[in-house]
Amino acid sequence: MATSTDDTSTTTPDAVPHHADGSFLTPQRIKVLSIAGAAVLVVALGIWFAITAGKRKEAFAAQALESARITAEQGNLPEAVAQFEKVVTTYAGTSAAYSASLGVAQARLVSGQTELAIASLLDFLKTNPPALYASPANGLLGSGYENTGKYAEAAAAYRKAADEATSDYLKASALLDAGRAFRLARNKDEAMKCYREILDKYAETSAKTEAEVRLAEMTIGQG
């Protein structure tokens, strides 16, 4: 008696069962997506931690800066310099650290350590700080040079402070300083340029009146 063969019982590659609903989320894909999702979560957590840590660093830096400023206001300038320097080294890259660098120079200028102040300002400016801090640094540098009788250097520093200043008021104020230093350096032409620039560009500032007076003093007898 012949035995009948049922071909339908043979399993072929084409007969491997598929998901009836044709779902994209197969077990393998779910696994891959889970791994990818975990990776994204790790990155997100890393970014959050970095932002949080950065904010905490800025907060601590601001507190340390304020403490140094209070010390300076109390007249303990050597201790204030030490505190400012600690802010600079501990919280490098923060806005407080930039401000602390200026604090070091200010304290040294007030205490008569002009050469040290000039040296610290030159070192600070070599780091290419943002204009918000570079401008006052050049202004302080100008003061240091002016105090030591280096009027041409002072004028150049004040001029740079004006170029980098972030407001019309600050630009005009620095130009007044530059004009004064140029006059002391016996560079009348450059001094007049500073005063005229104030009148041409920053006539709405309070520097206008002084610029007019200084320019009038310098032009008497010329016409």
What is the predicted pLDDT for the residue at 109? 94
**Which of 2-6, 57-61, 191-195 is the least confident region?**
2-6
Percent over 90 (pLDDT), the chain? 69
Domain boundaries, the chain: 46-129, 154-223
Query: The whole model's pTM is what?
Result: 0.74
Greatest Cα pair distance, the chain, in angstroms, is 140
What is the predicted pLDDT for the residue at 25? 53
Percent over 70 (pLDDT), the chain? 74
Helices 77-90, 27-73: axis angle to 10 degrees equals 170
Distances (CA, A) of 180 to 80, 151, 221, 222: 31, 9, 20, 20
Among the four given CATH numbers 1.25.40, 1.20.1640, 1.10.3470, 3.30.310, the one describing domain 46-129? 1.25.40
What is the predicted pLDDT for the residue at 77? 92
Name the average pLDDT for the chain: 84
